[in-house]
Copies of this chain bind each other. A is one copy, B any other.
Amino acid sequence: MVVKVQKEDFDIADELKLLNLKKNNSGGCVIFIGKVREKNNDLIIKSLEIEHYPIMTEKQLETIELEALNKWPINSSLIIHRYGKLFPGDNIVLVMTSSAHRKTSFKATEFIVEKLKTKATFWKLEETLNKKYWLKPEKN
């Protein structure tokens, strides 16, 4: 169980090594990578600034991870979320879970990603060529 909130980029191969899939007998690992897009509808994105609430963010991410661990037999899990000024193509978020069976891992990773959207204290300021605006939450 790992949670990191960081300015720096992450390296997926390195993070996978830390998960130590061999030792914990994981047959399946499901990974989600969220990235800054090039366009939002027709507007070309210049940058994406991510603000967050230190301490609370980490606490919320740990709570989400624990929820997932209580729901499914996950062997390992990881959430990394970046903050600061990012650019198109940059990594924003990495979520991984591993388990003996693939279906468990698909469910758990998707669960964590969905929870992130409503429970993790991040806010995104998107900048296009002409304007800056705070992104609104998704409607479900």
Chain A positions within 8 Å of B, measured between CB atoms, are 11-13, 16, 21-23, 25-39, 88-89, 100, 102, 105-106, 109-110, 113
Contacts and interface: CB of A to CB of B under 8 A. Distances in A.
Contacts of A30: 30-33, 109
Contacts of A34: 27-29, 102
Contact of A102 (B13, B26, B32): B32
A105 B35 CA distance: 13
B113 A21 contact: no
A62 to B, nearest CB: 22
Nearest to A89: B22
Nearest to A103: B110
A16 to B, nearest CB: 7
Contacts of A28: 32-35
